[in-house]
């Protein structure tokens, strides 16, 4: 196994631009349809439960595709699989734009969800190509995933006003197709490979327990939470999840390496990622609905799609800007402190939404604070995960982290929907206390994640620790970034943090 040859600055610039657009496009397609779900429901004359699957199907497909395609990229080549993911995004967008029924639209969203592979593939390509600039590149790409989600909600209103809701799919189709061509022609393929068979059975079991769990959560209010159908789905999800873990521990090539999950830097980052996904994705999905609720319901502002989308603009901007400073903050305070602070900030923002939402300025302030907090977390986790595993496991490890965030988001959205729709209010709208309880739950879940964050192995420089992990195997001869801790001192930092048994930060 040989490291990739050095690339010119121009090649790196093109590569980074492709990865940035790819990650942003995937994130945008997560959220563009969120503010217009009521419009889609009316367009196809369907129920709220059914239309929610337009979002859930995308997240579910991404949950399965993300770790699987991260593994495929490690085996056959990251750039090749990245192009496949971008083509899937384009074809899925085309089918969605032409969908004649809600069933076709949900199927198209499943195809779009295959694009979730762009995240672990992007992280893997950065690890292969960017070397001493890896930490900054990882932070920016990770931030773009959060920013893209926020801007998707902001952009949805103007696009729908201009070209209708189908324009939400035509525009991404054109962008992702162009990026796929550019990636195919100009992004160099890494010579690094990890020959292995593909984990088909683990993927089937993972999809099975996720479908059973999400279907039970989405139908709980309709069928009854104590109904045989819902309890049966939860029991099936538990059995399939147990079988999935057992198979992952026994197969020669797992999709998600459960033994790798025991690494302190990995399991703590995954717990944090799942909890933040639970809170952030669910809050973004329901804040626009809160604003769009007419005042006659006793709360809400009767906002338009465009107006409600603007609420999340400060969050998106704050999250993006914070990403540029995260590497410096980690060098100064350590990853553990930065992530813990981000979690507490984000959790407090959700509690603020629950308690103070009578004026729009209160919501603007809360979402801005939330953007700062989640920006600190998202842009820090990528570096922790990548620095916690050997080079050849970068794709699957980062894919697992992104996957757990998506799973957390799909579960959070389902839980939030169950809490809100369980309380009937005036004029057929949910009662205000449903939103209060829901956002308190989000705040508690994110706040509790700080307990896991306190177990993250601490270091004041992810870049040097990542170099240390690779140099220990003789795979790279990286020079630490300016201000980095020398390798020997970084090794002592790892030992002092209580993780001397791991090659982790």
Distance, in Å, from the CA atom of 199 to the CA atom of 206, rounded to the nearest integer, reads 11
The long-range contacts involving 48-54, CB below 8 angstroms and separated by at least 24 positions, are 48/421, 49/218, 49/219, 49/222, 50/102, 51/102, 52/218, 52/413, 52/417, 53/106, 53/218, 54/102, 54/105, 54/106, 54/109
Max mean pLDDT among 77-91, 184-198, 396-410, 422-436 falls in 77-91
Among the ranges given (192-196, 292-296, 493-497), the one the predictor scored with the smallest mean pLDDT: 493-497
- Distance of alpha carbon 256 from the chain centroid: 16
Q: Name which of 16, 84, 73, 83 is nearest 192 in CA terms.
A: 73
Distance, in Å, from the CA atom of 79 to the CA atom of 314, rounded to the nearest integer, reads 34
Phi and psi at residue 312, to the nearest 5°: -90, -5
Identify the pLDDT of residue 502.
39
Give the H or E element holding residue 31: helix 9-31
Give the model's confidence band at 192: pLDDT under 50 very low, under 70 low, under 90 confident, else very high.
low
Q: Name which of 183, 203, 198 is nearest 87 in CA terms.
A: 183
Distance, in Å, from the CA atom of 327 to the CA atom of 383, rounded to the nearest integer, reads 9
Residues 6+ apart with CB under 8 A from 195: 75
DSSP 154-193: HHHHHHHHHH-TTHHHHHHHHHHHHHHHHHHHHSPPP---
- Distance of alpha carbon 168 from the chain centroid: 20
412 close to 441: Cβ distance less than 8 angstroms = no
Question: Residues of the chain with pLDDT > 70: what percent?
Answer: 83
Distance, in Å, from the CA atom of 136 to the CA atom of 171, rounded to the nearest integer, reads 29
Both tokens of residue 29? 């397609």
Q: Name which of 92, 407, 84 is nearest 256 in CA terms.
A: 407
Among the ranges given (121-125, 350-354, 484-488), the one the predictor scored with the smallest mean pLDDT: 484-488
Residues 6+ apart with CB under 8 A from 400: 66, 67, 70, 120, 256, 257, 261, 266, 270
- 53-80 pLDDT, tens digit per residue, is 888 788 888 878 877 887 788 788 888 9
Mean pLDDT of 46-57: 78
Distance, in Å, from the CA atom of 63 to the CA atom of 219, rounded to the nearest integer, reads 20
Cα distances (Å, whole numbers) of residue 212 to 60, 185, 416: 11, 41, 18
Residues 6+ apart with CB under 8 A from 83: 180, 183, 184
Burial 356-366 (b: 16+ CB within 10 A, else e): ebeeeeebbbb
Helix, strand, coil distribution of the chain in percent, nearest 5: 80, 0, 20
Q: Please, what sign has the CA dihedral across residues 323, 328, 334, 337?
A: negative
What mean pLDDT is reported for the chain? Answer: 79
Identify the pLDDT of residue 281.
81
Pseudo-torsion of CA 267, 268, 270, 272, nearest 10°? 160
Residues 6+ apart with CB under 8 A from 174: none
Both tokens of residue 55? 């979002």
- 427-472 pLDDT, tens digit per residue, is 777 889 989 999 999 999 999 999 999 988 865 444 434 433 332 2
Both tokens of residue 92? 């899925």
Mean pLDDT of 185-204: 76
Identify the pLDDT of residue 363.
93
Q: Residue 424, SS3? A: strand
371 close to 319: Cβ distance less than 8 angstroms = yes
Angle between helices 78-98 and 48-76 (to 10 degrees): 160
Within a 10 A sphere around the Cβ of 427, how many other Cβ atoms? 9
More confident position, 289 or 350: 350
Q: Name which of 317, 305, 344 is nearest 454 in CA terms.
A: 344
Distance, in Å, from the CA atom of 421 to the CA atom of 286, rounded to the nearest integer, reads 12
Identify the pLDDT of residue 131.
67
Distance, in Å, from the CA atom of 426 to the CA atom of 228, rounded to the nearest integer, reads 31
Identify the pLDDT of residue 196.
64
289 close to 419: Cβ distance less than 8 angstroms = no
Give the model's confidence band at 480: pLDDT under 50 very low, under 70 low, under 90 confident, else very high.
very low
Distance, in Å, from the CA atom of 148 to the CA atom of 316, rounded to the nearest integer, reads 8
Question: Residues of the chain with pLDDT > 90: what percent?
Answer: 26
Burial 430-455 (b: 16+ CB within 10 A, else e): bbbebbbbbbbbbbebbbebbebbeb
pLDDT at 3 over 70: no
């Amino acid at each position: 196994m040989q490291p990739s040859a050095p690339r010119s600055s121009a090649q790196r610039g093109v590569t980074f631009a492709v990865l940035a657009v790819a990650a942003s496009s995937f994130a945008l397609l997560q959220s563009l349809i969120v503010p217009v779900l009521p419009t889609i429901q009316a367009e196809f004359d369907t129920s709220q439960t059914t239309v929610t699957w337009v979002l859930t199907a995308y997240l579910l497909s991404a949950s399965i595709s993300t770790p699987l395609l991260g593994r495929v990229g490690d085996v056959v080549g990251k750039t090749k699989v990245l192009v496949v993911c971008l083509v899937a995004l384009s074809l899925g967008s085309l089918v969605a734009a032409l969908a004649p029924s809600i069933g076709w639209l949900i199927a198209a969203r499943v195809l779009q969800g295959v694009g979730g592979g762009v995240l672990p593939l992007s992280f893997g390509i950065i690890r292969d190509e960017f070397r001493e600039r890896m930490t900054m590149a990882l932070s920016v790409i990770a931030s773009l995933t959060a920013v893209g989600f926020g801007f998707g909600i902001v952009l949805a209103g103007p696009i729908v006003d201009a070209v209708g809701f189908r324009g939400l799919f035509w525009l991404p189709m054109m962008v992702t197709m162009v990026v796929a061509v550019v990636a195919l022609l100009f992004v160099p393929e890494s010579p690094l490979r990890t020959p292995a068979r593909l984990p088909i059975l683990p993927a089937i079991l993972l999809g099975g327990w996720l479908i059973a769990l999400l279907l039970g959560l989405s139908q709980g209010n309709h069928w009854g939470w104590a109904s045989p159908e819902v309890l049966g789905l939860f029991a099936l999800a538990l059995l399939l999840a147990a079988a999935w873990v057992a198979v992952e521990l026994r197969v020669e090539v797992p999709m998600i390496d459960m033994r790798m999950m025991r690494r302190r830097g990995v399991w703590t980052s995954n717990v944090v990622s799942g909890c933040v996904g639970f809170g952030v994705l669910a809050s973004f999905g329901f804040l626009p609905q809160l604003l769009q609720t007419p005042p006659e319901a006793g709360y809400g502002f009767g906002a338009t799609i465009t107006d409600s989308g603007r609420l999340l603009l400060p969050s998106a901007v704050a999250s993006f800007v914070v990403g540029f400073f995260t590497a410096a903050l980690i060098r100064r305070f350590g990853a553990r402190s930065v992530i813990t602070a981000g979690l507490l900030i984000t959790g407090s923002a959700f509690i603020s939404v629950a308690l103070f939402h009578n004026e729009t300025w209160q919501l603007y302030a809360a979402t801005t604070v939330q953007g700062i907090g989640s920006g600190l977390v998202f842009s820090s986790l990528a570096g922790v995960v990548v620095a916690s595993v050997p080079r050849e496991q970068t794709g699957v490890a980062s894919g697992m982290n992104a996957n757990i965030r998506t799973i957390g988001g799909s579960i959070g959205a389902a839980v939030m929907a169950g809490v809100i729709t369980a309380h009937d209010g005036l004029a057929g709208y949910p009662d205000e206390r449903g939103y209060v309880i829901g956002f308190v739950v989000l705040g508690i879940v994110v706040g509790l994640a700080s307990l896991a964050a306190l177990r993250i192995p601490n270091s004041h420089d992810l870049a040097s620790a990542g170099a240390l992990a690779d140099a220990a195997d003789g795979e790279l001869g990286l020079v630490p970034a300016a201000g980095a801790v020398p390798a020997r001192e970084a090794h002592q930092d790892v030992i002092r943090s209580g993780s001397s048994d791991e090659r982790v930060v």
